[in-house]
Amino acid sequence: MDLNILIAGEAGQGLKTIETILGKTLFRMGFQIYTTRDYMSRIRGGHNFVKIRIGKGDITGPAEEIDVLLALNEEAISQHKQDLKEDGIIVLDGQIAREDIYQLINIPARKIANEVNSKALNTVFVGAVLKVLNLKIAEALKVIKEHFTDKKLQEDNMILLKEGFKKADGKFSLPKIEDNDEQLFIDGNSAVALGALAAGVKFFSAYPMSPSTGIMNYLAAKQKEQGIVVEQAEDEIAAINMTLGASYAGVRAMTATSGGGLALMAESVGLAGITETPLVIVDVQRPGPATGLPTRTEQGDLLFSINIAQGEFPLMVISPRDSEDAFYQTFRAFNLADKYQLPVILLSDQFLADSTTNINHYNLNSLKIETSLITDGESVKYEDYKRYQITEDGISPRAYPGQLSGEVVLVDSDEHDENGDIVESASARSNMVDKRMKKLVRIKQELKEPVFFGQEDINYLIIGWGSTYGPILEARKLLMEDGYKIGYLSFTDLWPLPEKRVKKIITPDIKVVVVENNATGQFAQLLKGQLGITSDYRMLKYNGRPFSGREIYQRMKEEVII
Amino acid sequence: MSKEDIYYSNQETAWCPGCGNFPLRKALAGALNELGLLPPQVAIFTGIGQAAKMLHYIRVNGFNGLHGRSIPPAIGSRIVNPTLKVLVESGDGCTYGEGGNHFLHNIRRNPDITHLVHNNQIYGLTKGQASPTTGEGMTTKIQTEGINSEPLNPIKLALSLGASFVARGFVGEEDHLRELIKSAIKHRGYALLDILQPCVSFNKVNTYQWYKQRVYKLADNYDDSDYNKALKKANEWGEQIPIGIFYRKEKKIFRDRFSQLDDRPLVEKEINPLGVKPFLLDFK
């Protein structure tokens, strides 16, 4: 079962509210839901849409074909009619007159809403859509009660939901509902924020930048309850440097931004590198360069991230594959940053950040905090403390200022000796570079190999990284249904690059296809440069929109499997 | 009470002989000593430049960061650890040029930090280019026909932005400077102390001699709570240059605005991943 609702209109028409209420209602009713957002960089006007895909257990990405088009204006129809299925339905306000072949369900939403509360117009449509899907409204009424804090608004919305429901006709029948009590319905940004909270983030600072701002919003909403600090910085440089200061003072700290902001932070990522200050930096990628497409998606910052800042220093780059993974990877990023005293960049993107879907309940009991900070009990051992003490594995005992009585903690952006004091001698420089780079030996043992789907006798191996996970998974399923033998490797650790599994799987008779949301095949370049693996085909997309599973499936058949 | 020399590291300095940074260091060590602050209780944050090297020549906790970026990490450290005495030290280029944006917004935040600006009105480490405070008309290798912009007046700027403690010192008046540093550290809030400090190698105009002829101390009966008077005094520059505390006012500090924080450093707060359990309900 697979049904796709597309809600389209202009910015300011309240698409997000429909998405939230409808999405949550359908989730709670026991369906597998995948919502994606496509919006313009403006406050009002323009053309925006939200997709809500409904399925049963196996929905892992967006779909292109539309079953129900909820059109909030004329443009919604002209923009999307070509994607409407043959038996698709357009739900619209009766005041928008149309004469064409589509099945129309006219709901006099404005008229109905004006009699009750014109601000709650969209709820009429939510009721109508529920009727079109032949569902009940009890759960939606509960969601409305939770969503609106104002009593009057609650009641008005409930009345309008019922009215909308009454005015529509039932057209689709959905399968029996599953029990999804053990699931969460969460977007990528919230998952990252929640992972940070679980990891014990105590300080977060950022400059608002789409599409990363949701992370700051969620953390800010929880800061009082958690007793932590969220500060909006004057610019991205201040944001990352504030977090570095907090981390120096011993707490776990994070910043989040998008490409342009990361570019501003670049020098400071190097500062984290040479001062060996743990830091988690989230880059929610959007198409660049410069301002690019501020509200769209791309995987264009990979090579920039791994080469960020002048000079050489160890850092890690990790790209979560979905909202479930984003939580655990964020948690893990804090542990890695802390243990190895280095910056960790989490590469998310707008597609992941703004998509909401069902995931398995997070297993909090499995989470373990790992750190390299000296415990207060150990502090007596450190007389004549050296922040950059040369050790066998390159990891020095880390203390925070004021922790050791009689000792001070000195960190330095200049090349330094074990104390943290400036040195310019050739040997001291080499020793310190070696010390920092030595950490990679242990880090390599901690790398997460890519997840592999497939058997031994595959003809094609699709390789992807980060958020393309869901769409590629769906494409593979469709190709397998057609009888093709397809394997799929999904990478999340990108730098350093894990090499064992990919080298083991690739044999000369397997065709390798690298699927990426960018124009130059950045990961394919990395595979070639780091591991000597040549891809037979690079399937790229860089129009600012995410892949759908069917799209990859079709392109595989048209461009690869000829 | 500790002795002054516990604050001196045994590092050989990279400062020129006769540099104004030497008396400044002495005044700073003296101030820390007289306030009874031990090295582990103090953290100094620096940017880049000769002034920023201070923390290698003075033994307290130190974060030597990037050019112009000394203030943000200081704020980050201070807000998560209220028990730490936090100072920022950097030059006129680092603070008023590269770090100008942080300077502005730091005043708005009013964090409890002391900001010592080594103001020698020149870029020393890069060998003599104009800084934001260099006098108009001075020629350099870059500003060959004389500096074409008006110098920035840090005292007036800080006052106009609402800074809660604004002062100027001079390294040629060491006892006075030590007292100013003490007052700045004792002030609860953001304290700007702009310190006139000759660059003996590259600033041939604003020499010890030049300052000594002009600098005078604000009178004992000067009322540092009078904002309009402070603004008027801030305009004095040229034949007469006042030093001392121009303005002082108790205000809410940055940390007071976070009602969720108490007096304990956040590092002492235990981390428990299970603590997020209630938040999962947001996604049900």
Query: Phi-psi region for residue A508, left (φ > 0), alpha (ψ -120 to 50) or beta?
Result: alpha
Which residues of chain A are within 8 Å of residue B269 when distances are taken between CB atoms?
Answer: 202, 227
**Ranges of CATH 3.40.50.970 domains, chain A:** 185-366
**Contact, A497 vs A522, CB < 8 A?**
no
Angstrom CA distances, A77 to A9, B118, B266, stand at 9, 65, 54
Bridge partners, residue A69, by sequence: A6, A90
User: Could you report the per-residue pLDDT of A403-458, keeping only the tens digit for each?
Assistant: 998 999 999 999 999 999 999 999 999 999 999 999 999 999 999 999 999 998 99
Q: Answer yes or no: do B105 and A271 touch at CB < 8 A.
A: no
User: Could you report the per-residue pLDDT of A295-336, keeping only the tens digit for each?
Assistant: 999 999 999 999 999 999 999 999 999 999 999 999 999 999
pLDDT of amino acid B1: 44
Three-point CA angle A9, A11, A14, nearest 5°: 75
B2 pLDDT exceeds 90? no
Q: Which of A197, A199, A178, A181 is nearest to A361 (CA)?
A: A181
Q: Answer yes or no: do A408 and B39 touch at CB < 8 A.
A: yes
Report helix, strand or coil for A381.
helix
pLDDT of amino acid A294: 96
Which among B48, B63, B105 is the nearest to A234, CB-wise?
A: B105
**Ranges of CATH 3.40.920.10 domains, chain A:** 2-167
pLDDT of amino acid B8: 83
Multiple choice CATH, A2-167, 1.10.10.10, 3.90.550.10, 2.130.10.10, 3.40.920.10: 3.40.920.10
User: Could you report the per-residue pLDDT of B168-201, keeping only the tens digit for each?
Assistant: 999 999 999 999 999 999 999 999 999 999 999 9
Three-point CA angle A477, A480, A482, nearest 5°: 115
Q: Answer yes or no: do B40 and A404 touch at CB < 8 A.
A: yes
User: Could you report the per-residue pLDDT of A347-366, keeping only the tens digit for each?
Assistant: 999 999 999 999 999 999 99
Residue of A nearest to B60 (CA): A408
Q: Answer yes or no: do B271 and A420 touch at CB < 8 A.
A: no
Which residues of chain B are within 8 Å of residue A407 when distances are taken between CB atoms?
Answer: 40
Contacts (Cβ under 8 Å, ≥6 apart) of B54: B21, B24, B25, B28, B44, B46, B89, B118
User: Could you report the per-residue pLDDT of A117-166, keeping only the tens digit for each?
Assistant: 999 999 999 999 999 999 999 999 999 999 999 999 999 999 999 999 99
User: Could you report the per-residue pLDDT of A492-516, keeping only the tens digit for each?
Assistant: 999 999 999 999 999 999 999 999 9
Q: Which of B31, B26, B5 is nearest to B171 (CA)?
A: B26
Which token pair is A502?
Answer: 């990919």
Which among B43, B73, B83 is the nearest to A241, CB-wise?
A: B73
Which residues of chain B are within 8 Å of residue A271 when distances are taken between CB atoms?
Answer: 65-66, 69
Residue spans of the domains in chain B: they are 5-282
Burial, A82: exposed, middle or buried (Cβ in 10 Å; 0-12, 13-18, 19+)? exposed
Residue of B nearest to A367 (CA): B273
Task: Give the HSE-up count for residue A418: Cα atoms under 13 Å, Cβ half-sphere.
Answer: 11
Q: Answer yes or no: do A369 and B277 touch at CB < 8 A.
A: no
Multiple choice CATH, A451-560, 1.10.10.10, 3.30.420.40, 3.40.50.920, 3.30.450.20: 3.40.50.920
The class (CATH top level) of A185-366 is: alpha beta
User: Could you report the per-residue pLDDT of B12-64, keeping only the tens digit for each?
Assistant: 888 999 999 999 999 999 999 999 999 999 999 999 999 999 999 999 999 99
B190: amino acid identity, one letter: Y
Mean pLDDT, residues A174-179: 82
**Ranges of CATH 3.40.50.920 domains, chain A:** 451-560
- DSSP alpha helix (H) spans, B129-236: 154-160, 174-186, 208-214, 227-234
Topology classification of domain B5-282: Rossmann fold (3.40.50)
Which among A250, A401, A414 is the nearest to B40, CB-wise?
A: A401
User: Could you report the per-residue pLDDT of A182-240, keeping only the tens digit for each?
Assistant: 999 999 999 999 999 999 999 999 999 999 999 999 999 999 999 999 999 999 999 99
**DSSP-assigned letters across all residues of A53-114:** EEESS---S--SSEEEEEESSHHHHHHHGGGEEEEEEEEEETTS---SSSEEEEE-HHHHHH
Which residues of chain A are within 8 Å of residue B71 when distances are taken between CB atoms?
Answer: 238
A20: amino acid identity, one letter: T
ipTM: 0.97
Cα torsion at A202, A208, A211, A215 (round to 10°)?
A: 20
CA of A209 vs chain B CAs: smallest distance (Å): 18
**Contact, B29 vs B39, CB < 8 A?**
no
If pLDDT is split at 50, 70 and 90, which confidence band does A381 have? confident
A549: amino acid identity, one letter: G
**Contact, A276 vs A300, CB < 8 A?**
no
Percent with pLDDT over 70 in chain A: 99
Which residues of chain A are within 8 Å of residue B63 when distances are taken between CB atoms?
Answer: 245, 248, 275, 411
Strands B113-119, B85-91: pairing is parallel
Q: Answer yes or no: do A229 and B261 touch at CB < 8 A.
A: yes
**In whole angstroms, what separates CA A420 from the centre of its chain?**
37
Residue of B nearest to A421 (CA): B56
Mutate to test the interface with A, among B7, B42, B260, B271 (most CBs of A within 10 A): B271
